[in-house]
Chains A and B, each alone.
Chain A
Amino acid sequence: MASTELTTPVETSAPATAPNVPPDVRRRAVLFTAVAGTILGLALWPLGFSSLWALVSIAAFLAGISDIGGG
């Protein structure tokens, strides 16, 4: 494949999260995210502004990674 195939825009109309996930699985995923996020956030906030910025930067990096396959 020419390297431009994946580097050119791909229409991705589907949301990043799958709409066909069963509701109970979805609820558990949301709960897990909230609990894990709260624990991690409370563990890191005493480190101050640098920890907040590190989280923002990691989130931005993960946003880039999850765009695998094109825009």
Chain B
Amino acid sequence: MYVLSSLAGAAALVAAARALRLGAFALLPADVGGRELVVPIVIAVSACYAVAVIASYRLPRLMWKRQVPFVWRTRFGPLRASVAYSAVLGAGIFTRINSPAVYLVPIAALLAPSWPLALVPGLLYAFARASIVAVASIAFSERYYRDWDGLMGWISYQRRIWTAVQGIVLASATVAGLAMAISQIGG
């Protein structure tokens, strides 16, 4: 239920981006700028910004610096609140952003040439985020009370590792996007 709710949140974000795209194309000519050129460049610039945010502490992280409303827990009860939290967290952009690759999700949804391609990054993000939290909450339920500091240290270590891998993939997307754009201009 928690994972499904997260997927619904991501799908809602993608649907909103696609609606925005429909509105934009209603106003602009369909071939504005050449989509084969625009899409790789925008993806490359976004990925480059995301990897720069990982590498630098000084670069501002664009995000809403807030968490999901804590009051939901008392208002809705633990089960319904966790489903509501999951939907908001699955959308990714409405709360604090720990992983800069999240920036690519709404941009990909906006630029993707088809609905399935628009949904893939958002749903993968939402699935991974909800699954890892749900699995960790079950797997570490005892350790949470017994060794809270140790658990937080382990989580912090895991975050650093996966963020580093994320940085390599983002750098690859930057280079691949730029190479695609240059080959479009050249050929």
Chain A residues within 8 Å of B, Cβ to Cβ:
1-9, 11-12, 14-19, 29-30, 33-34, 36-38, 40-42, 44-45, 48-49, 51-53, 55-71
Contact = CB atoms under 8 A, between A and B. Distances in A.
Nearest to A66: B162
A4 B156 contact: no
Contacts of A29: 164
A64 B125 contact: yes
Contacts of A19: 57
A69 B160 contact: no
A49 to B, nearest CB: 7
B175 interface: yes
Contacts of A48: 180
Nearest to A18: B160
Interface residues of B, number: 84
Looking at chain A's contact residues, the main secondary structure is helix
A47 to B, nearest CB: 9
Contacts of B168: 33, 36-37, 40
Nearest to B142: A1
Given A48-B180, A51-B176, A52-B40, A57 B124 contact: yes
Interface of B: 2, 36, 39-40, 43, 47, 50-51, 54-55, 57, 61, 67-68, 70, 73, 78-79, 81-82, 85-86, 89, 92, 95-96, 98-102, 104-105, 108, 112, 117, 120-122, 124-134, 136-138, 140-142, 144-145, 152, 155-156, 158-160, 162-180, 183
A44 to B, nearest CB: 5
A17 to B, nearest CB: 6
Contacts of B166: 59, 62-63, 66
Contacts of B122: 60
Contacts of A70: 133
B98 to A, nearest CB: 5
A14 to B, nearest CB: 7
B171 A41 contact: yes
Contacts of B137: 1, 3-7
B101 A63 contact: yes
Contacts of A36: 168, 171-172
A16 B134 contact: no
